[in-house]
Structure 1
Amino acid sequence: MKIGLVSDSHGGTGALDLMLSRPEARGIKLWLFAGDVALDGEYLDMVTPENVEVIKVAGNNDWPGTSLPDYETLDVAGHTILLTHGHIFGVNFGRQKLAQAAQDVGADIAVYGHTHVAEYTEIAGITVLNPGSVSRPRDERAGSFMVLDLVPEKKPVVNLYRL
């Protein structure tokens, strides 16, 4: 299953439009929006086809005033994913708490945002992914998103794309 990962749009719906226009975004069946700004997650939900689900979590810039959860756990294509913005797990100071939270809920993949820096790493058997910021990156000049290909009982295939 092809899953899109996006975070930290901060009102940059134009960056979301550009992301969706990319060939790499075609065929995505599920988008995971890792927060900041909740209304952008709603926008993404509006502009994707009806058969494409968008799962959203709140970021630190979404409080107060959103009913989105701080994290979601979902089972997809034989994998369990913990989706969060990351601020509640202190990701600015390391990914250990996030990896532990993923282990605690039985997830093999953790997706987060918050740092605006793309990352793909393994911690204690957990695939830890940050798609970076689609509109305000801190690691490059161009925004980014990830595409995650999941097949049951196989290691996830992850690709990072710059706008």
Structure 2
Amino acid sequence: MKVLVTSDSHGRANLLEQIVDREQADYVIHCGDFCTEKEKLPNVKMSVVRGNCDFEQVAQEEEVTLAGYHFFVTHGHRHQVKSNLLPLSLIAQDRGSDIVCFGHSHFPFCEQDGKKLFLNPGSIVDPRGYTVPTYAIVNLGEERTVDVTYFQPNGSKVPSLGGSFVL
């Protein structure tokens, strides 16, 4: 199963739509700070959470199970993600999450901790601490394998990010 994970699009609904159209993912996760009306978000199977810059009333956090993997989705501003991942790790443990998706820092991050994967897709418009804007594609495989690939909004692969993981 192919999952598009994005965050921090900050009002660039047209750019988000272009990425969604190009990737043709089975499911889309937006980790907040979409900063536009909900109606302007792509009309696809999607989880979207509220970031610190969002004005629309959507959930602060969401849980979804895709291909047998339990995802916890949050923006991250309420969990100090710019400092450390301990608060998210405790939530993931408590909720039985396999993959934790978050945004807020605009910095792409993908790391396994035990049987959990922590994933920040970065920002598609305003990278911070990284050279290019990014989003992530997560391929959920059998045998608990997860492949993560990062891309720039123009579709160019970012080979230095992502990897293959066994959860």
RMSD: 1.8
Return the letter of the residue paired with 1:36. D
What corresponds to 1:43 in structure 2? Answer: 40
State the TM-score, normalizing by the size of structure 2. Answer: 0.83
Q: CA deviation at 1:44?
A: 3.0
Structure 2: gaps (5+ residues): 154-167
Does the Cα contact within 8 Å between 2:110 and 2:119 map onto a contact in 1?
Answer: yes
Check if 1:140 corresponds to 2:130. yes
Return the letter of the residue paired with 1:10. H
Structure 1: gaps (5+ residues): 47-51
Return the letter of the residue paired with 2:104. H
Counterparts of 1:99 and 1:41, CA distance in 2:
29
Pick from 52, 55, 76 the counterpart of residue 47 of structure 2: 55
Q: Which runs of 4+ in 1 moved over 2 A?
A: 17-22, 37-46, 139-142
Counterparts of 2:109 and 2:47, CA distance in 1:
20
Does the Cα contact within 8 Å between 1:145 and 1:162 map onto a contact in 2?
Answer: yes
What corresponds to 2:99 in structure 1? Answer: 109
Query: Once the two structures are aligned, what percentage of the paired residues are identical?
Result: 30
Change (3 A) 1:3 1:149: same
Does the Cα contact within 8 Å between 1:41 and 1:56 map onto a contact in 2?
Answer: no
Instruction: Judging by fraction of residues, say which structure has more strand.
Output: 2
Counterparts of 1:2 and 1:58, CA distance in 2:
23
What corresponds to 1:33 in structure 2? Answer: 30
After TM superposition, the structure 1 stretch with the greater mean CA deviation from structure 2, 12-21 or 91-100, is 12-21
- The number of aligned residues is 153
Counterparts of 1:40 and 1:16, CA distance in 2:
13
Structure with bigger RCO (C-alpha 8 Å, 6+ apart): 1
CA offsets 1:7-58 (integer angstroms, 9 cap, x no match): 0011122432442354xx13x0110010002526642323xxxxx3011000
What corresponds to 1:12 in structure 2? Answer: 12
Instruction: Judging by fraction of residues, say which structure has more helix.
Output: 1
Q: CA deviation at 1:146?
A: 0.4
Change (3 A) 1:76 1:21: closer
